[in-house]
Structure 1
């Protein structure tokens, strides 16, 4: 696989990341959210109000997701505030997935840091 600083990936809003650590982080967040939903369902079956803990845990995952998105927007030479585009129903989410999940980052150093791949692409 690849050597990744997971703490940096999920807690920092600074710097840039390329697509590989972005998708790795997305997969981790999806797996964790599924695990929370399963545990929440089990706890909810035992005693209904315990399912609220799963909801709170899922809401806590918003912070690492936003940190991940911000660094990817930075690689596209845009502010992390562009994550708000996802609030536009359907089209915003499609645009966001295309921009930060499919498009390559800018090859040169930008205001957010050097190219995370280490070399400028022609």
Structure 2
């Protein structure tokens, strides 16, 4: 349990792909459970749910950053691209919550926000960047041996 807490709260050192996946799966499970609870709290109020989702997103920024930055360090990278990914996620979450870039459309008696073309384009670009980051963080091998961020986590495990 101490390892998981350290994984989610510290930024020093390097982690391998397995530890990154453990951290990400943990954060996804936390996010799903919290989203269910927030859905129950908001009782179908889409605006309230959107703002609660912003709060959830902000609460998960630090643990996501901690897991991601250690993985970027494993690839001998300073993590600027990770910072862009996290900032983009928060920005898109805020745009959704505020309704900026969306118009309300009647879908069978229920008003639903529909993203404008420019917001749809931003979402598409962000999705492509997120896939790039998923490959970088989850699938590519880290630097063999020590690098500027510390010893190889695979050597330390042996």
Q: Does the alignment reach a TM-score above 0.5? A: yes
Which consecutive aligned stretches of 4+ in structure 1 deviate over 4 angstroms post-superposition?
A: 46-54
- Mind listing any 5+ residue stretches in structure 1 that lack a counterpart? none
Deviations 1:66-117 (A, max 9, x none): 1111000000010122203534523311211111110010111011000001
TM-score w.r.t. length of structure 2: 0.65
Aligned residues: 117
Structure-2 residue corresponding to 1:70: 69
Q: Which structure carries more strand by proportion?
A: 2
Structure-2 residue corresponding to 1:98: 135
Structure-2 residue corresponding to 1:19: 17
In the alignment, the residues of structure 2 paired with residue 101 and residue 49 of structure 1 have an alpha-carbon distance, to the nearest angstrom, of: 33
In the alignment, the residues of structure 2 paired with residue 92 and residue 49 of structure 1 have an alpha-carbon distance, to the nearest angstrom, of: 27
Cα pair 1:73 1:100 within 8 Å, conserved: yes
TM-score w.r.t. length of structure 1: 0.82
Question: Which of structures 1 and 2 has the bigger CA Rg?
Answer: 2
Cα pair 1:16 1:75 within 8 Å, conserved: yes
Q: How does 1:1-122 map to 2 (within 5 A)?
A: 5-45=3-43, 51=49, 52-53=51-52, 55-86=54-85, 87=88, 89-118=126-155
| Alpha carbons of structure 1 residues 42 and 98: separation in structure 2 relative to 1, 3 Å | same
| Alpha carbons of structure 1 residues 22 and 4: separation in structure 2 relative to 1, 3 Å | farther
Deviations 1:38-66 (A, max 9, x none): 00111111988975455413321011001
In the alignment, the residues of structure 2 paired with residue 68 and residue 101 of structure 1 have an alpha-carbon distance, to the nearest angstrom, of: 11
- Mind listing any 5+ residue stretches in structure 2 that lack a counterpart? 89-124
In the alignment, the residues of structure 1 paired with residue 131 and residue 152 of structure 2 have an alpha-carbon distance, to the nearest angstrom, of: 25
